[in-house]
């Protein structure tokens, strides 16, 4: 697995990490045994960035990681997030970026992860009620204390990124990014992080599984799967989006790879780190193979023609979810 420098502060990770969210939340039933095997297999194959958050479960995902690969802690960089408030009983509340909550969340994550240090600590969503300078100032204290190595932001607007970076160097910015979701190209986010020397981490680089070509109707998703409620997976939008996926499938077949692998290779060709999520070893191995695919200029042009920016039908979140983005 190739590696890359993430940001300008010294963090180096595999170009493809592993998003662990779906192992414990949102995407159907849990299978902790298979998820544990998948986490260990990822490390065996050279993945060195594992991504989680306290909200995933809540807490269950961090606890799973500790149990599954805590004994291999020196082999990977561990990223977790806070900001979507959760009580100790697991009840979810509003976005909270206050210094007090940041402290509570970090100490709790350290316990759940059974580690003394988080390598990359993200603000999961920006709290409009707390100046970003106060939130990042509190996070900077964690670095001084040795409890966090590097700081990150998720779904932050360009001006917020600049203000945060002025308080303490930001190592990584994470947002959704794929050939299916290209808003960061047009809203200044990618331009801002590249100008500041901040690393970029693309979550949902497979369009929440849509770009694998394995989803053709909502019934292909498990009962209780969060995606059943997401705008891009409603029947009316699904039909339009399947046309986009079919074009990617055709290009993938011509190259002798799967649609998902081609979509992942496109993300990696943008010079960013991708963290596709899966809870199965089979899909993990398929995803990791994408890191070895070399795309020519002609390949990239064909993909951009097949799936131009702005052609995806439906928004990526519902109205409430969209309100928390790019603050």
Indicate which residues carry an active-site annotation: 56
Q: What are the φ and ψ backbone dihedral angles of 34, each rounded to 5 degrees?
A: -70, -35
- Give the count of alpha carbons within 13 A of 169, CB side only: 16
* Four-point Cα dihedral 56, 57, 60, 61, nearest 10: -30
b (16+ CB within 10 A) / e for 214-230? ebeeeeebeeebebeeb
Start-to-end CA span in the chain (Å)? 34
Mind giving me the DSSP string for 49-98? EEE--TTTTTTHHHHHHHHHHGGGGGGSEEEEEE-EEE-TTS-EEEE---
């Amino acid at each position: 697995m190739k590696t890359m420098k993430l940001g300008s502060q010294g963090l180096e990770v595999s170009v493809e990490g592993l998003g662990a969210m779906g192992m414990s939340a949102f995407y159907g039933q849990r299978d902790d045994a298979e998820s544990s095997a998948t986490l260990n297999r990822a490390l065996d194959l050279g993945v060195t960035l594992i991504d989680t958050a306290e909200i995933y479960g809540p807490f269950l995902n961090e606890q799973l990681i500790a149990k599954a690969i805590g004994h291999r802690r020196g082999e990977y960089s561990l990223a977790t997030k806070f900001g979507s408030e959760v009580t100790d009983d697991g009840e979810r509340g509003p976005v909270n970026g206050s210094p007090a909550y940041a402290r509570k969340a970090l100490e709790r994550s350290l316990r759940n992860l059974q580690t003394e240090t988080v390598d990359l600590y993200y603000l999961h969503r920006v709290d409009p009620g707390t100046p970003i300078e106060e939130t990042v100032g509190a996070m900077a204290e964690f670095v001084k204390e040795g409890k966090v190595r590097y700081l990150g932001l998720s779904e932050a607007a360009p001006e917020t990124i600049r203000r945060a970076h002025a308080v303490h160097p930001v190592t990584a910015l994470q947002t959704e990014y794929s050939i299916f979701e290209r808003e960061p190209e047009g809203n200044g986010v990618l331009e801002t992080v590249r100008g500041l020397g901040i690393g970029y981490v693309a979550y949902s680089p497979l369009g929440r599984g849509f770009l694998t070509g394995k989803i053709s109707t909502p019934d292909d998703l498990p009962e209780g799967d969060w995606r059943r409620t997401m705008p891009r997976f409603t029947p009316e939008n699904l039909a339009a989006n399947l046309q986009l996926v079919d074009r990617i499938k055709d290009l993938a077949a011509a190259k002798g790879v799967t649609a998902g692998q081609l979509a992942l290779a496109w993300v990696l060709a943008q010079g960013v780190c991708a963290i596709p999520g899966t809870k199965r070893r089979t899909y993990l191995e398929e995803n990791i193979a994408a890191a070895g695919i070399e795309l020519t200029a002609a390949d990239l042009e064909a993909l951009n023609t097949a799936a131009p920016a702005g052609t995806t039908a439906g928004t990526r979140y519902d109205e409430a979810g969209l309100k928390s983005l790019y603050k």
